[in-house]
Each structure stands twice: as structure tokens, then as C-alpha cells.
Amino acid sequence: MGDSQKTRSAKEQGLLIAYTGDGKGKTTAALGMIFRAMGYSHKVGVVQFIKGKWKTGERRFASSFSQIDFLTLGHGFTWESEDLQIDKKMAQAAWAKSKQLIESNQYFLLVLDEITYTFQHGFLSLDEVVQTLKLRPFQLTVVLTGRNMPDALIEMADLVTEMKLIKHPFDHGMPAKPGVDF
């Protein structure tokens, strides 16, 4: 294989990216990549494993583009939830859909937002997620977000960034702000 061919195939290879840590910026960094990929007319997808109280700005925005499939399939935050069994079912449904999107070979970029919380609660098999990510289409980039990223995913990822909390207005009683936080 000539050098230029090697370079091209390396350029086409998708990455596994993980954004973790306690500071703000994990989901928005992933959405920034979505924004960037859409600039090249790539097909992109987001699966959100947690659904907050609000219809977020990103969900509103995404609904006007056919290039992006934006799915919020998780249940509410666990601390808002009354029934962990329902949360588990919804997490598994979100994973089943994610797996389908990964294996469809239709996407340039997929974001699995807040997938980590499903491992903390034992809702999903980490092994199954690792295997599916390993066998994903060559050109597919997957971004995982969430606090407490499991070691197996950190080891496997090509790129890991930890958002470090230095200051957050929430600590000074500032409420979450539409257009900034959701």
C-alpha cells in the first residue's frame, strides 16, 4: 500500500471518543462535533439515555434537520424516578436503538449521550456495549458522554477528555438556564 493510500484510510477511520468528568461541557462538546460533521453533509445521530424535564434547545434545533436523527429514549433522571424497573427497560430500549443505528452503517457520527449512567445502575451489560463498539463500521465515529466512564471504555477509546469542574454557577445557587444548560 502506498503512503497516500494509508493516509487516506487512516483519515477515513472512525474514532471512539469519550467525554467524561464532573465539569460542564460533555454533552455540548459532543453536540459541537455533530454541528461540525453536519457542515460536511454527513448523516449523524444522537441517542440520549437520560431525558430531563425540559425539551432542550438541542432537541428543538435538531428537529429542523433531516440529516440528524435525535432520539431521547431514556427515562427521567433516576433521582426523579419512582420505578427503577421502568428506567431499566427504557435504558435497554435506548441501547437496542443505539445498536441498530451503529450496525446500520448509515452514519458518520453517533453520540451516545449519558450512556455511563446505565452502567452505574447495572441497566446495561458493559461487555455487550464494548463488543458492539469494537465491531462497529470502520468509518463510524462514536462519542460517549457521561460521568464515571468505565475503565474498559477509557482503554478502548482513541480520545478521552475529562471535563474538570473548577467552578459552576449551580454551586452559588444559580438555576439552570435555557439556552445555556439545556
CB of 30 to Mg ion, least distance (A): 8
| Signed CA dihedral, 133, 15, 97, 31: sign only | positive
From the list 25-33, 60-68, 73-81, 83-91, the region that binds ligand ATP by CB under 6 A is 25-33
**Contact positions with ligand ATP (CB under 6 A) in 95-134:** 114
Query: By C-beta, is 71 or 163 nearer to ligand ATP?
Result: 163
Residue of 26, 51, 75, 136 that binds ligand ATP (CB under 6 A): 26
Question: How far apart are CB 36 and ligand ATP at their closest, in Å?
Answer: 16
Tell me which stretch binds ligand ATP (CB under 6 A): 18-26, 35-43, 63-71, 83-91: 18-26
Q: Which residues pair with 142 in a beta bridge?
A: 16, 110
60 lines the binding site for ligand ATP (CB under 6 A): no
Reading the block at residue 73, the C-alpha cell is: 429514549
Q: Binding of Mg ion at residue 72 (CB under 5 A)?
A: no
Choose between 26 and 75: whose C-beta lies nearer to Mg ion.
26
DSSP string over 104-165:
HT--SEEEEETTHHHHHTT-S-HHHHHHHHHTS-TT-EEEEE-SS--HHHHHH-SEEEEPPP
Exposure letters 48-60 (e unless 16+ CB within 10 A, then b): bbbbbeeebebbe
Q: Which amino acid is at 109?
A: L
Residues of this chain that bind ligand ATP (CB under 6 A): 22-28, 114, 145, 147, 163, 165, 168, 170, 176, 181-182
Residues of this chain that bind Mg ion (CB under 5 A): 26-27
